[in-house]
Amino acid sequence: MRILPGLLAAALLTAACSATESEPGLRPPEPPASTGTPTGAPELGVEVVADGLDHPWDVVQAPDGTLLVDERSGGFTAVLPDGSVQEVRADFGDLFADGETGLMGLALDPAFEENRRLYSCKGDQDGSIGVVAWTVAADWSSATRVADPLVGGLPLNERSGRHGGCRLEFAPDGDLLIGTGDTATGTVPQDPDSLGGKVLRADPGTGEVTVWTSGHRNVQGLAVRPGSGQVYAVEHGPDRDDEVNLLADGANYGWDPDGDGSYDESVPMTDPEIPGAVPAVWASGVPTLATSGATFVAGDEWGAYEGLLLVALLKDQGVLALRLDDEGTLTEQFQVPELDDTFGRIRTVQQGGDGALYAVTDNGDDDVLLRITPTG
């Protein structure tokens, strides 16, 4: 892996010079009132496809239909196409799992059918967070590390595990996107020499990494909008303004909690004093909802849900639906009724290759994997 601090400094300079300008004192716009489910929205069926999970963090679906779930305390679980559930053996002997950090984001290689390659975010006992590349056995019985780490040196809060990030998603151009947290350290989001509080781009073959965006607090979701190339990041706010941000190369999203060397959480999520700080396309206002993993909905079978950005909610215990126009302007929001205060905390929601939505809860040691489909 080759870290390129010069490119990071250039990215921050680019953000200051060319990103969307924010007016002094500007906060993200207050979200529009919830509209309720739109006309033509289908009723949704929700079924549990796996239970007994311990704080699952992410879910991906392989081309053969197998679902793979990871658990923050360490462990991979596969749900095979016939519905059977099995452990995927893997070595987690060096896992750091504390607070918000452990085994986190997952992504399958776009060429998974050929190379069986999987990527995970993982807290390490060496005091950092890394992205590990694995290969998975054809029968899903085991996973073996093949690049450990592929990308290393992501900062870790060893005291509490707070703000570890760490979401993975493939960009349309084949880069592996990595959303990181600021470790609750005030200098990190604006520090050109730190990979924390950033969204990174990595070559999935070599691990060479560059910084794409900066000024983030704790990136919990990344979602690529189908057909557009747009990438949206979801992150937790302090006492207000969870955010959804439309990412742009070199942009700075304005989180700067460095108050005389402390972690000052009273400052705005998008600090208007930072030249070129880019406002969010959506912010929760007060109270926060604890937004997490996100996905866009695609497919005619989803009716009026097609095109929505769905965002998992931890504190507000459900799934938020946002409609964004082609430029990323928010036009509509509501909470999905079938998931609202029904299954507890939702850590992520992802659309599988089969068109269904999959979500994992994050309530404790008896969590579940849900399959969500339109029924009419």
DSSP assignment of 283-303? E--SS---EEEEEE---GGGG
pLDDT at position 27 is 57
Q: What is the pLDDT along the chain (376 residues), one digit of tens a residue?
A: 333 433 333 333 333 333 333 343 445 555 556 667 888 889 999 999 999 999 999 999 999 999 999 999 999 999 999 999 999 999 999 999 999 999 999 999 999 999 999 999 999 999 999 999 999 999 999 999 999 999 999 999 999 999 999 999 999 999 999 999 999 999 999 999 999 999 999 999 999 999 999 999 999 999 999 999 999 999 999 999 999 999 999 999 999 999 888 999 999 999 999 999 999 999 999 999 999 999 999 999 999 999 999 999 999 999 999 999 999 999 999 999 999 999 999 999 999 999 999 999 999 989 999 999 999 7
Sorted by where each begins, the domain ranges of the chain are 5-374
Residue with tokens 């559930």: 85
Residue with tokens 């081309």: 63
CA atoms within 13 A on the CB side of 258: 16
pTM score, two decimals? Answer: 0.92
pLDDT at position 25 is 41
CA–CA separation, 15 vs 330, rounded Å?
Answer: 23
CA–CA separation, 184 vs 259, rounded Å?
Answer: 12
pLDDT at position 5 is 36
Dihedral class, residue 189 (left if φ above 0, else alpha if ψ from -120 to 50, else beta)? alpha
Q: Which residues pair with 360 in a beta bridge?
A: 348, 369
**Which ranges constitute the DSSP H helices of the chain?**
5-18, 112-115
pLDDT at position 142 is 98
For 40, the token pair is 């033509």
Judge: domain 5-374, CATH 2.120.10.30: yes
pLDDT at position 38 is 83
